[in-house]
Structure 1
Amino acid sequence: MNSEHETKRRGMTAEDLLRLRSVRDPHYAPDGTRVVFVEKSIDEEKQYRSHLSMWTEDGSVRPWTFGRWRDTKPRFSPTGEEIAFLSDRSGRAQLWRLPAHGGEARQLTFFKNGVRDYVWAPDGTFLIALTTIGDDETIADREEPEKKEAKPADPKPRVVERLYYKSDAAGFLDDKRPVLVRIDAATGKAEALTSREEEIGSFAMSPNGRTLAFVANRNEDPDTVFTRDIVLLDLESKAETNVTNGCGTFTSLAWSPDGTKLAAIGHDLAYLGATLHRLYVFEPERGTARVLTADWDVHLGDAMIGDMHADAKGPGPIWANDASGLYVTASERGRVNVFFIPLDGPVVPIIEGDFHVYGLAVHPNEQQAVAAISEPTVIGDLYAISFENGAKTRLTTVNEALENEVALADAEPFTYQSTDGSDIQGWIMKPPGLGEGEKAPLIVEIHGGPHAMYGLTFFHEFQLLVSHGYAVLFTNPRGSHGYGQAFVNAVRGDYGGMDYEDIMAGVDAAIRQFDFIDETRLGVTGGSYGGFMTNWIVGHTNRFKAAVTQRSISNWLSFSGVSDIGYFFTKWEVGCDMWEDAERLWHHSPLKYVKQMNTPLLILHSERDYRCPIEQAEQLFIALKQLGRETKFVRFPDANHDLSRTGNPMLRLERLRHIVEWFDRYLTKSLP
């Protein structure tokens, strides 16, 4: 990054967010000659759009759909002649069909509440879709175009009787229940397959087309009991069989090619929300179940935190053609790679490297795959990966112009010891163009979760900070995924304990190891759990000159009653309910230590955040103002907990500008 060519490149700006493109969700045609995928972008109206594109084996890439809408989840029909996909072009996300060799798309479903997900039947004659209906609705009710009300509707009270009545993703729940529906591929005729009031997750069709497997919470009190069972539905007799009977929580179902086995990702809740995801294989006819990864101390799936591909849904387990095992992604030491898990034998790395695999399609001949891969200096593209020699061929270059225009900083890994001797992994990003002997202020970034992982993926926010001359330090303190079950569980009951020590030890280690860091100019920021930890840090040390807390927790006593997950998350993570030990919750609340907070603190929070409701920010801001501390409170309207990742692009820009301006003011004195 110090070559003459590199120094001529400009730094990343906040506005570059609008140019970023994310390619994701690749899917092979049955003959392996084509791959359909999704390209997500932000258009000139500052709105998210996503369209389908096609890669063919001659190396060409062509856009396949166009328009001012969002097309997602493309899947070839079993014959390869058609592509089904979800699109909101009619208003709500519905199921559409498109000729695989080009032509006009045709709408297949018109459900009043749209379609959440779908799968093809093995013979292509029908599909299974997931929709929702209310008490006074049926699947025959059609979607209506939005109408502008001549006058506001009369206000009505919202009557709440359930413990779980709101969701950060969906807002206030509307008492609509999920329904699995069989849809004739030729006529669109729909038949409801389920009728219970239950939350339905993953579902998959058996290879013979006779049995539908799906995940559902079948507990009498689904608000407090969190096991999710695998249910088999015979499509002819409509008889149901519960395969798991409350033994755990499961997702990502996949039938073996011969239909005798059913794979799933799941766990037994042994460590509640900190339990590693494992690979299960069930044999329903024999009534047997195996955990293939019981002895592999690794979290299956994608635990990576980032602001570019956070909403890209990676694949679940993928069976080998001979049913000898499954391909999976797994999160380990800041990387998300691909492995083969045999039914009998050791785990085999398949796609391994210092990168983040956030999408995967395995070729029908199993000699190669197409993977969506991101790295700290590679925004994200599709690559063909040979299983024989690991050769990696880039198939798309959707961000090439921006990558060639901007100086991007790599993330240098280092390992350090915490105060108790535990090894902790971290990364440092050095500002491009920093001269020999020059010093840079350091900003410490803390991830949310806490059961998630920072690592080797592109992060626009980090690149923006280094472009402003800041070194960026990010670590995986205990509680993070990627380092085994004991490590991810270690934060539970100890928020603000050794996790705090891990982060502060990382600051000390970085200062010792990297001589370009100016230890007199330190900043800290983070969101969600990272916001909690930012609040905790400024309440326990005056070492930082500036801090930015985002979508944070400040008071566990109130959080437990206002968050959509607070009523169980508080006990799972801190260890008690308020009536059991209110003093314990207060001890772990940053608000308790507000009189010790002297660091200038910028508070960023979304007004429709139901995960960490904005009252958490309000309490902290008012207390700091009463104490005469330097603080500012920025409220983002019509935004939820995911503002930094998938929120309104203009609000995302405002958020980034506030962060940079705050650190500039207190770490560089460049602003009055």
Structure 2
Amino acid sequence: MTNPLSPLAALLLATASLGAAHAADATPSQATAKHAITHEDVWLMKRVGSPVASPDGRWVVFSVTDTAYDSKEQWADLWIKSLTDDSAPRRLTHSKSGEGAVNWSPDSRALIFIAKRDGDEAGQIYRIDVAGGGEAQRLTTLTLGARSPKFSPDGRQILFVSDIFPGTTDEESIKKAAKERKDRKYNARAYESFPPRFFDKWLDDKQVRLFVMDAQNGAAPRDILSATTLAAMPGFGGGQGDEGQSLDAIWAPDGKSIVFSASTNRDQLAHASAYTQIFALPLAGGEALKLTADKRSYGSLKFAPDGKTLFSLTQEENPTKVYDLDRLASFAWPMAAGAQPKLLSATLDRSISRYVLPADGKRVVFSYEHAGLEQLHSMNYAGADLRHEPSSPTGSINALSAGGKALVGVWESAINPPEVYAFNGGQPKRLTAFNVDKAAAIDWQAPEHFWFKTPDGRQIHNMIVKPAGFDPARKYPLFTVIHGGAANMWRDQFVLRWNYHLLAKPGYIVLLTDYKGSTGYGEEFARSIQFDPLKGPGEEVNQAVDEAIKKYGYIDGDKLAAGGASYGGHLANWLQATTTRYKAIVSHAGEMDLVMQWGTSDSIWGREVNAGGPVWSKLPVWREQSPVMQAGNHEKGTGFKTPILITVGELDYRVPANNALMNFATQQRLSVPSKLIVFPDENHWILKGENSRYFYNEVHGWLAKYLK
């Protein structure tokens, strides 16, 4: 078979022309003068959500957010588009609060979704009759709300996720417990297991459960999980998200049981990975049957159209390694207890990002990251005949859905904000144009790709982004921006928080490097960061700067800056501590001390695995690769001299603000020009419009002060 991971040089050389082709396809007129990108351009682009194709393949529904700087003025609604003709999409709902978790009825006539509308204190299930028309009807009024609704195979029932309080048995007792908590005179949090918080939220004692109800107004939801031995286990739970724990649950093909993935060792997260196994729960009652019994994690469960195969994404959860690949697995259905997965993508050295099962029942269609791109691929149900499916040679696919013969998704690139596309075997067809005219009016170019080889033989992929009005005869300062993760990669996509073109706007070349530890280049490449969290990646970032200066004559090698967020902030701090080649540094949510980060973040076990042992071990990495521990370099003239802008969200529990405070204290102690900006109402990311505008202005001001 053709190797899908062969070098993409030919495709990458075509990036600029094909990016322009997409823009041309989207442009009603080329006569309009173009302007340099503004923060308003970035923030006010409509945000197109993941599409969901109807089972009969005739319709696709997706959310569209009409953005605003004031969140109170922002609207988000569902839109619907015919897949059988070229008629324009139309708005399906008219509600300011927005809708999510859309699911079609099996007959493609109705939708259910989660919304928080007038009078709702938590998200509830709503149903709308797409075929007959009319307003959406609320189906639930639960104290703790509902999440992830799904129609049963016959369309008569709905499965969903909700929560209970410890000791509660029904809605009445849940409501009573909620009132008691609201009315109590003291205010305290208590914990007996790890972690106590997640990203920007202190965790509470709610317990995740599965509910089933008839698909009609006035039906009473029924908790089908609380009575089981499984739910009573101290380590039982699901994945943690913004709205609480989630359980990846689907209906079995016969509608008589629920298949879901859950963990039974969440109470061990301080010293082990959580293994997420597959269970089946009879709808009629009884205990949950554990279908898998291994040291893997399973999720993204889907049944084949004929109901004879269960598919899943799975990770090995190797206790001595970091960054296990997400592989595609399958099981013959019905499954016996202790079933072993068939790893369909075992020979594919990439993580599967998402997959769908078209109705023909012949192939699995999926996407994975590679060298800044995310494209479509497929294989048969046996895991053979791996193919590259028609998709754009630039940009990234970030959502997929299949229904009937239809395959739809969201495609975007750095110069094409997200739109819904159809992928049906030929050239991808754009179905929406919410941002097309705005994008066509901006003076921007597609990223240019290049590679270099490290001294140890590693191939490193990079992208270069040029400012508006670019003139190759001029000299431009270089701003190298470092991605977070480290299990991540720079993608050819439209970015909100660190928009490449907005960063380049004042007249900078932006360099985006996928250092070792990045995804999109295979399991060994991602794992190579183990035991070397900052030094090796930092050296590759520095080499990328050298290679860019050699390759592009328009880069001014005397005017260099570096910056990043999260892991990118960690590396920005490391560069400031270990070299003086940069004129300015920007560090957002950056780690300053590995030991402190281990003890105050919401994740510790993975950090121990990455370092090779706990913080009290004698492993040198904990000290030798902590930026603050390099402060002595200041006296040797090799670091902690570069002016640094430090930013942080006060509600960030992933990289807590004490890192930024230590960073600022270190700079001030050493008399390094430095500025600390704290966003009291932001978490790990800067998500509010005016805060974002202020952030970009501060970054531009800091760079201008030291580069121009």
Selected match of 1:167 from 187, 192, 198: 198
* Correspondence 1:291 to 2:343: yes
Which of 596, 600, 616 pairs up with 2:643? 600
Q: Residues 437-448 of structure 1: matches in 2 within 5 Å? A: 437-448=473-484
Instruction: Please list the CA deviations of residues 89-134 of structure 1 after superposition, one character each: whole Å capped at 9, or x if unmatched.
Output: 1232211101113311111112212223122111111111111111
Letter in 2 for 1:106: Q
**Residue 573 of structure 1 pairs with residue 610 of structure 2:** yes
State the one-letter code of the partner of 1:328: F
Contact 1:529 1:552 in 2 (8 A): yes
User: Residues 129-278 of structure 1 correspond to what in structure 2 (within 5 A)?
Assistant: 129-141=160-172, 154-169=185-200, 171-186=201-216, 187-195=218-226, 196=231, 198-200=236-238, 201-219=247-265, 221-223=267-269, 224-270=272-318, 272-278=321-327
Distance of aligned partners of 1:338 and 1:536 in 2 relative to their CA distance in 1, 3 Å threshold: same
> Which range moves more in the overlay, 263-272 or 124-133?
263-272
In the alignment, which of 76, 98, 102 is matched to residue 74 of structure 1?
102
Displacement of 1:482: 0.6
Seen in structure 2, the aligned counterparts of structure 1 residues 242 and 153 have a Cα distance that, compared at 3 Å, is closer
Alpha-carbon distance in 2 for matches of 1:393, 1:79: 26
CA contact (8 A) 1:253 1:317 kept: no
CA distance in 2, matches of 1:349, 1:217: 35
Contact residue 557 and residue 582 of structure 1 kept, 8 A: no
Which sits farther off after the overlay, 580-589 or 189-198?
580-589
Q: Which residue of 2 aligns with 1:590?
A: 627
> Mean Cα displacement is larger for which, 329-338 or 517-526?
329-338
Q: Distance in 2 between matches of 1:523 and 1:152?
A: 53
Change in CA separation of 1:509 and 1:142 when aligned onto 2, cut-off 3 Å: farther
**CA 1:619/1:141 → structure 2, altered by over 3 Å: closer, same or farther?**
farther
Please say if residues 515 and 541 of structure 2, whose CA atoms lie closer than 8 Å, have aligned partners that are also in contact: yes
Q: Distance in 1 between matches of 2:261 and 2:625?
A: 36
The amino acid across from 2:678 in the alignment is R
**Per-residue deviation, residues 45-83 of structure 1 (Å, max 9, x unmatched):** 335542100101332210111232021122221111211
CA distance 1:428–1:220, change in 2 (3 Å): closer
Distance 1:650 1:183, change over 3 A: farther
Q: Which amino acid aligns with 1:84?
A: I
- What do residues 178-234 of structure 1 show as CA deviations (whole Å, max 9, x unaligned)? 011002101431110112152233111112111211111113744234111111112
CA distance, structure 2, for counterparts of residue 622 and residue 188 of structure 1: 59
Q: Deviations over 1:501-523 (max 9, x none)?
A: 21111111111111111111111
Aligned to 2:528: 490
- What is the 5 A alignment of 1:312-391? 316-344=354-382, 345-352=384-391, 353-365=393-405, 368-387=406-425, 390-391=426-427
Deviations 1:315-339 (A, max 9, x none): x432243543422221122211222
Letter matched to residue 254 of structure 2: N
**CA displacement, residues 331-355 of structure 1 (integer Å, 9 cap, x when unaligned):** 1222112222212322122243222
3-state SS, counterpart of residue 171 of structure 2: coil
Q: What is the one-letter code of the residue matched to 1:414?
A: F
1:629 aligns with 2:672: yes
Verify: 1:123 aligned to 2:151, yes or no: no
Q: Give the ranges of 4+ consecutive aligned residues of structure 1 lying more than 6 Å apart after TM superposition.
A: 1-7
- Structure 1 residue 272: deviation in Å? 4.3
Q: Secondary structure at the match of 2:618?
A: helix
| Counterpart for residue 304 of structure 1 | none
Moved more, 289-298 or 223-232: 223-232
SS at match of 1:442: strand
Q: Is structure 2 residue 439 aligned with structure 1 residue 400?
A: no
Distance 2:418 2:206 in 1: 37
**C-alpha distance in structure 1 between counterparts of 2:266 and 2:541, whole Å:** 42
**Aligned residue number for residue 600 of structure 2:** 562
Instruction: Give matches, 1:11-90, under 5 Å.
Output: 11-43=36-68, 45-47=70-72, 48-56=74-82, 57-59=84-86, 60-89=88-117, 90=120
Give the RMSD, CA atoms, in angstroms.
2.5
**How far apart are residue 239 of structure 1 and its match?**
3.4
Distance 1:456 1:106 in 2: 40
Any idea what SS the aligned residue of 2:704 has?
Answer: helix
* Per-residue deviation, 1:591: 0.8
Moved more, 173-182 or 464-473: 464-473
SS at match of 1:199: coil
Deviation of 1:593 (Å): 1.5
Structure 2 vs 1, CA of residues 207 and 127 (structure 1 numbering), >3 Å: closer, same or farther? same
- Residue equivalent to 1:541: 579
The 5 Å alignment of 1:391-430 reads 391-430=427-466
What is the letter of the counterpart of residue 159 of structure 2?
A: I
Letter matched to residue 576 of structure 1: G
Number of aligned residue pairs: 643
What's the TM-score, normalizing by structure 1? 0.91
8 Å Cα contact 2:331-2:342 kept in structure 1: yes
- CA apart distance, 1:276: 0.6
- Offset of 1:550 from its aligned partner? 0.6
Q: What is the CA-CA distance between 1:273 and the residue it aligns to?
A: 4.0
Distance 1:525 1:538 in 2: 10
**Structure 1 residue 436: Cα displacement:** 4.1
Amino acid at match of 1:229: Q
Deviations 1:276-320 (Å, cap 9, x if unpaired)?
10011112435342000111111110xxxxxxxxxxxxxx43224
**Percent pairwise identity:** 25
**1:141/1:589 CA distance change after superposition, 3 Å:** farther
1:360-384 Cα offsets, whole Å, 9 max, x none, are 122412xx52220011110110112
Instruction: Give the Å deviation of 1:621.
Output: 0.5
Query: Does the 8 Å CA contact 1:38/1:74 hold for their aligned counterparts?
Result: no
* Contact in 1 for aligned 2:400/2:410 (Cα 8 Å): yes
1:138 Cα deviation from its structure 2 partner? 4.5
Distance of aligned partners of 1:654 and 1:220 in 2 relative to their CA distance in 1, 3 Å threshold: closer
Deviations 1:124-169 (A, max 9, x none): 111111111112544515998xx99xx9974423222112221115
Name the SS of the counterpart of 2:90 in structure 1: strand
Offset at residue 429 of structure 1 (A): 0.8
Q: Which amino acid aligns with 1:190?
A: P
Instruction: Report if the CA contact (8 A) 2:586-2:699 is conserved.
Output: yes
Aligned counterparts of 1:6 and 1:576: Cα–Cα separation in 2: 62
Amino acid corresponding to residue 627 of structure 1 in structure 2: L
Greater shift, 232-241 or 440-449, is seen at: 232-241
Distance 1:205 1:484, change over 3 A: same
In 2: Cα distance, 1:524 partner to 1:625 partner: 20
Cα drift, residue 44 of structure 1: 6.0
- Distance (Å, rounded) in 2 between the aligned partners of 1:445 and 1:152: 48
2: CA distance, partners of 1:138 / 1:358: 40
Tell me how far apart the structure 2 counterparts of residues 35 and 639 of structure 1 sit (CA, whole Å). 34
Amino acid at match of 2:630: Y
Amino acid at match of 1:254: K
TM-score, length-normalised on structure 2? 0.86
Q: Is the CA contact (8 Å cut-off) linking 1:548 and 1:601 kept in structure 2?
A: yes
**Which residue identity is paired with 1:9?**
K
Name the SS of the counterpart of 1:581 in structure 2.
Answer: coil
The 8 Å contact of residues 111 and 139 in structure 1, kept in 2 or not, is answered as: no
